[in-house]
Chains A and B, each alone.
Chain A
């Protein structure tokens, strides 16, 4: 008999749990389907782990990377705006493969007369055009800014056979390179430097009214393409917008410029005594011991004075850089130069800024301090900055990054005043570009394929560094209390994610093929990582895993899976659902409160159970003592239930008296309010349900239901809440931390906040 009772009970309870599915009787057989569960593991999307890349996300036992060492002599012809170079590349084949040819990148060919870049830009007829521009576009031959390759030779001085396919050059090897082989060859080249302000671009010059130019020079020399286990030769052409994939190596670079120029670039200066004045040396000695305030090495007056000279004589600046993937430099007579030291672990590195006076007073006040603060923040999140210096160079309207040096915008008006827009634009871009030293300069991902791996991850750490900077220098952001970061907070991405789906690409899309490049490559991945850190994983687990990723891939080439796998491997969290939803699809988050029902507890059998029992032929005497829930307003509901307590439920009291010790009884909770809350998931992307329950006495509590609550139910889930206080309000995602695209269903009872419009109008009337 006892067994029968138990079985009857199981039948009954089971029936209650699935009462929803009984209501819908399907007439036709539904066809089968693949696994469409949002928690499906990513075995199909990820490549299979192998000897090169382990399933843990770490480099595998056979991981390799190629090496390209450069010795270069560069000369700037300031008068003719030409750059000439002679470089010797020593290429080491660390791969297990035999190579028959090498690929070299010729990025400047994007500016050649026969460049195909203009041909892929869709164009419309402009209603008006500048005459000069019109000539350039429709009547002239266009600017000739491509590489002139004068010679490609081996060490014996013999010409090497080569083929140029637009921005890529294939060099035939006289003898195949076996694993471990080295091959040395040289290239002599020159090209015309473009105006990066008026003709746009990342490398080039800005011309000032006094005839001087400020050069910011990058992707200026033929550079080795990457050969690796994922792509073979990374030979995707350079179209202009996409960035780079580059090999690590050691550089020795001698740069000859007019003698009155001030120059800085990637690497450590080898001949300071030859290129610095005695006064500059003295100031430099102060700078390397100044940890709080920058020391000016070249003053504005000195730069003004130098700008008048236009010397014909030349000076050569000599640098050495170890383990960098690229080289860049900036040079001008107009540069003001300041530096300060930053202590990172046991090492000192230099935070450096170079700017024409047009950047002041903003630049002399803040650039170097922003650099220093950024290095500290990024070092905390990853590893101590391994290079000797980081330079922020003022360039009129662009931001772009290279190892140890970057170009940043932010120019005050001519009278030296500037708006918040200019100020925060400058802070943000300096933090961002200095941060790129980590992603992708040191954690060297393939930018051409995966924009998010450098831009997105960097935007995430940028957010942390911005907040740090605001805390360290409150006077810089006053009257704001917190640094007003554009990218990072979840609610700032809602506009993009809730937009027109035809204009949104998954993050896991090659950079060149995305629609809203900024939102797709920067904001959405950056915000996603911030949500992971703050809401899904918590700072401790996230930071440990993120640091593990950074340290596993320092001075190496990670792929997307290496990041995804490491984050799971180091945290013991299955995040496949998040990678799938946030990175591989364009799904959105929209979770809300669908329904709230109030229940009372009684020992009297309710109608629903009676119906179920009679349908199954079960008698009341067949059942063990049960406790029944009656919904407020249902046919079994009686007004007296409102005031009754659990003490009035005889079945319950009998059970307690028979089974619990007096001590256990005193420890029992006595909830008197019972609710069934149904949460709906309108968006396809799962998220933990963060709920704030507010009670009749004004107190509130937060409960976070882990994301796995959605594991078998993609549309809605119910939760029974037993409480000793009445619930007056339920809010889902009260701090807007999950990027919920529609918050109108987030509250029960439906509540209208005083909107932005009303509060603005109210303030307006008051004033």
Chain B
């Protein structure tokens, strides 16, 4: 765990060395948020690099956290859900809206996390706070793609501005 932190901080603040091949090299997550009126539901899919997420969970909880390998434990999953629900927050029409965790799946190096907000009769405004990985990577950008039947709106959230408000009236 220690050497990991060292590597990361070294990487970020001192030299950034890049090699001939980049695994992903830019720190971005994307979250698709869709309001489906007929089902009164806000559907959320967050896509995050597994490597980054594994690192942050190792830093915060335990150096033994392993994602997406045969050794991923139930505890690792719980850490993951706890972290995501702590860092991703929604306000719907001005009120805190609880996120329901639906599940997750791995697409090789990217994790897809499925979340839902139920019982949204009308959507007048939505406030999204996404602090995922901001605690580890200062240059992390969390991009939000919002859509309903009329609108496509984007938010780019980062350390300086981790939340954004979308109004629909």
A interface residues (Cβ-Cβ under 8 A, vs B): 117-118, 121, 123-124, 126, 128-130, 132-133, 137, 198-202, 240-241, 243, 398-401, 406-408, 413, 417-421, 424-425, 428-429, 432-433, 436, 455, 484, 486, 495, 499-500, 503, 515-519, 522, 742, 744, 755-758, 760-761, 764
Is the CB–CB distance between A129 and B9 below 8 Å? yes
Tell me, yes or no, whether B143 is within 8 Å of chain A by CB: yes
Which residues of chain A come closer than 8 Å to B23, judged between CB atoms? 425
Which residues of chain B come closer than 8 Å to A515, judged between CB atoms? 26
Residue interface mask B2-22, A partner, CB < 8 A = 1: 110111011111111111111
Is the CB–CB distance between B11 and A200 below 8 Å? yes
Is the CB–CB distance between A121 and B15 below 8 Å? yes
Is the CB–CB distance between A522 and B22 below 8 Å? yes
Task: Write the chain B residue with the least CB distance to A110.
Answer: B15
Is the CB–CB distance between A240 and B17 below 8 Å? yes
Task: Give me 15 A-to-B residue pairs in the complex whose CB atoms sit less than 8 angstroms apart, sorted by A's number.
Answer: A121-B16, A124-B13, A137-B14, A199-B15, A243-B20, A398-B17, A408-B21, A516-B28, A518-B26, A757-B43, A760-B45, A761-B102, A761-B103, A761-B114, A764-B102
How far apart sit A495 and B144, CA to CA, in the bound complex (Å)?
A: 11
Interface contacts (Cβ under 8 Å), in number, total: 151
How far apart sit A241 and B26, CA to CA, in the bound complex (Å)?
A: 14
Which residues of chain A come closer than 8 Å to B143, judged between CB atoms? 499-500
Is the CB–CB distance between A436 and B103 below 8 Å? no
Q: Which 4 A-B pairs have the closest CB atoms?
A: A399-B21, A518-B25, A518-B22, A419-B69
Is the CB–CB distance between B5 and A130 below 8 Å? yes
Q: Closest Cβ of chain A: how far from B159's Cβ, in Å?
A: 9
Is the CB–CB distance between A417 and B70 below 8 Å? yes
Tell me, yes or no, whether B50 is within 8 Å of chain A by CB: yes
How far apart sit A200 and B10, CA to CA, in the bound complex (Å)?
A: 9
Q: Closest Cβ of chain A: how far from B44's Cβ, in Å?
A: 8
Which residues of chain A come closer than 8 Å to B9, judged between CB atoms? 126, 128-130, 133
Picked from A130, A200, A522, the residue with its CB within 8 Å of the CB of B2 is A130
Q: Closest Cβ of chain B: how far from A362's Cβ, in Å?
A: 13
Task: Write the chain A residue with the least CB distance to B50.
Answer: A421
How far apart sit A710 and B63, CA to CA, in the bound complex (Å)?
A: 56
Which residues of chain B come closer than 8 Å to A764, judged between CB atoms? 102-103, 114
Task: Write the chain B residue with the least CB distance to A454.
Answer: B20
In the complex, which of the residues A121, A137, A421, A503 has the most CB atoms of chain B within 10 Å of its own CB atom? A421
Which residues of chain B come closer than 8 Å to A455, judged between CB atoms? 20
Tell me, yes or no, whether B105 is within 8 Å of chain A by CB: yes
Is the CB–CB distance between B108 and A420 below 8 Å? yes
Is the CB–CB distance between B26 and A519 below 8 Å? yes
Is the CB–CB distance between B20 and A399 below 8 Å? yes
Is the CB–CB distance between B51 and A421 below 8 Å? yes
Which residues of chain A come closer than 8 Å to B10, judged between CB atoms? 133, 198-200
Picked from A123, A400, A401, A413, the residue with its CB within 8 Å of the CB of B71 is A413
Give 4 A-B pairs besides A518-B25, A761-B116 with Cβ atoms closer than 8 angstroms: A198-B7, A419-B70, A757-B43, A760-B114
Tell me, yes or no, whether B30 is within 8 Å of chain A by CB: yes
Tell me, yes or no, whether B121 is within 8 Å of chain A by CB: no
User: Given contacts A130-B9, A133-B10, A760-B105, is CB(A413)–CB(B69) below 8 Å?
Assistant: yes
Which residues of chain A come closer than 8 Å to B106, judged between CB atoms? 420-421
Which residues of chain B come closer than 8 Å to A517, judged between CB atoms? 18, 22, 25-26
Is the CB–CB distance between B21 and A400 below 8 Å? yes
Tell me, yes or no, whether B152 is within 8 Å of chain A by CB: yes
Task: Write the chain B residue with the least CB distance to A124.
Answer: B138
How far apart sit A260 and B144, CA to CA, in the bound complex (Å)?
A: 56
Which residues of chain A come closer than 8 Å to B122, judged between CB atoms? none
How far apart sit A17 and B114, CA to CA, in the bound complex (Å)?
A: 51
How far apart sit A755 and B114, CA to CA, in the bound complex (Å)?
A: 12
Q: Closest Cβ of chain A: how far from B79's Cβ, in Å?
A: 17
How far apart sit A439 and B26, CA to CA, in the bound complex (Å)?
A: 23
Is the CB–CB distance between A123 and B19 below 8 Å? no
Is the CB–CB distance between B19 and A202 below 8 Å? yes
In the complex, which of the residues A121, A399, A406, A760 has the most CB atoms of chain B within 10 Å of its own CB atom? A760
- Identify which of residues 97-129 in chain B touch chain A, using a CB-to-CB cut-off of 8 Å: 102-103, 105-109, 112, 114, 116
Is the CB–CB distance between B108 and A421 below 8 Å? yes
Picked from B17, B25, B109, the residue with its CB within 8 Å of the CB of A421 is B109
Q: Closest Cβ of chain B: how far from A208's Cβ, in Å?
A: 14
Is the CB–CB distance between B34 and A757 below 8 Å? yes
In the complex, which of the residues B13, B45, B66, B102 has the most CB atoms of chain A within 10 Å of its own CB atom? B13
- Identify which of residues 73-117 in chain B touch chain A, using a CB-to-CB cut-off of 8 Å: 102-103, 105-109, 112, 114, 116
Is the CB–CB distance between A241 and B68 below 8 Å? no
How far apart sit A761 and B69, CA to CA, in the bound complex (Å)?
A: 23
User: Given contacts A130-B9, A517-B25, is CB(A420)–CB(B17) below 8 Å?
Assistant: no
Is the CB–CB distance between A484 and B19 below 8 Å? no
How far apart sit A433 and B16, CA to CA, in the bound complex (Å)?
A: 20
Residue interface mask B120-159, A partner, CB < 8 A = 1: 0000000000000000001001010001000010101000
Q: Closest Cβ of chain A: how far from B126's Cβ, in Å?
A: 16
Is the CB–CB distance between B108 and A433 below 8 Å? no
Which residues of chain B come closer than 8 Å to A429, judged between CB atoms? 21
How far apart sit A455 and B69, CA to CA, in the bound complex (Å)?
A: 30
In the complex, which of the residues B6, B21, B68, B107 has the most CB atoms of chain A within 10 Å of its own CB atom? B21
Is the CB–CB distance between B156 and A500 below 8 Å? yes
Which residues of chain B come closer than 8 Å to A132, judged between CB atoms? 6
How far apart sit A202 and B22, CA to CA, in the bound complex (Å)?
A: 13
Q: Closest Cβ of chain B: how far from A502's Cβ, in Å?
A: 9
Is the CB–CB distance between A419 and B20 below 8 Å? no
